[in-house]
Amino acid sequence: MVASRPSLAAALDLERIEPWRFRALMDDGRPDRVFGGQVMAVALLAAGRTVTPELGVHMPHSRFPRRGDPRRPIEFEVEAAADRGSFAHRRVVATQGDIRILDLTASFHRDEKGPGHQYSTVALEDPERIPTFGELAMAGDDSDARLPRDRPTRHRAGLRRSRRRPAGHPEPPRYRQESE
pLDDT digits (tens, 9 = 90+) for 93-125: 999 999 999 999 999 999 888 777 777 776 766
Asked if 78 and 91 touch (Cβ cutoff 8 Å), the reply is yes
Number of domains in the chain: 1
| Domain membership flag for residue 51 | yes
Give the phi and the psi of residue 91 in degrees, each rounded to 5.
Answer: -115, 135
| Domain with 87 in it | 8-110
How far, in Å, CA of 170 to CA of 154, rounded? 37
> Which of residues 171 and 61 earns the better pLDDT score?
61
- Average pLDDT on 137-153 reads 58
> Among 11-15, 35-39, 98-102, 140-144, which is the least confidently predicted range?
140-144
**What would the DSSP string read from start to end of 15-70?**
EEEETTEEEE---SS-SS---HHHHHHHHHHHHHTTS-TTEEEEEEEEE-SSPPPT
> In angstroms, rounded to a whole number, what is the distance separating the alpha carbons of residues 73 and 64?
16
Integer angstrom CA distances of residue 145 from 14, 70, 115, 133, 140: 55, 59, 28, 14, 10
pLDDT value at position 143? 46
The angle at the Cα of 154, spanning 148 to 156, to the nearest 5 degrees, equals 130
Residue 163 is assigned to a structural domain of this protein: no
Comparing 147 with 33, the larger pLDDT belongs to: 33
Residue 14 falls within a domain, yes or no? Answer: yes
Q: How far apart are CA 45 and CA 56, in angstroms?
A: 11
pLDDT at 55: 94
**CATH code of the domain covering residue 41:** 3.10.129.10
Q: Is 96 contained in some domain?
A: yes
Cα separation of 81 and 60, whole Å?
14
- Position 138 in a domain: no
Q: Which secondary-structure segment (H or E) carries 113?
A: none
Q: What is the pTM of this model?
A: 0.62
Residue 106 lies in a domain: yes
| Confidence at 1, pLDDT banded by 50, 70, 90 | very low
Residue 69: inside a domain: yes
* Mean pLDDT, residues 134-143 taken together: 66
pLDDT digits (tens, 9 = 90+) for 19-78: 999 999 887 676 788 888 999 999 999 999 999 999 999 999 999 999 999 889 999 999
- Give domain status of residue 153, yes or no: no
Residue 16's pLDDT band (cuts 50, 70, 90): very high
Q: What is the pLDDT of residue 51?
A: 95
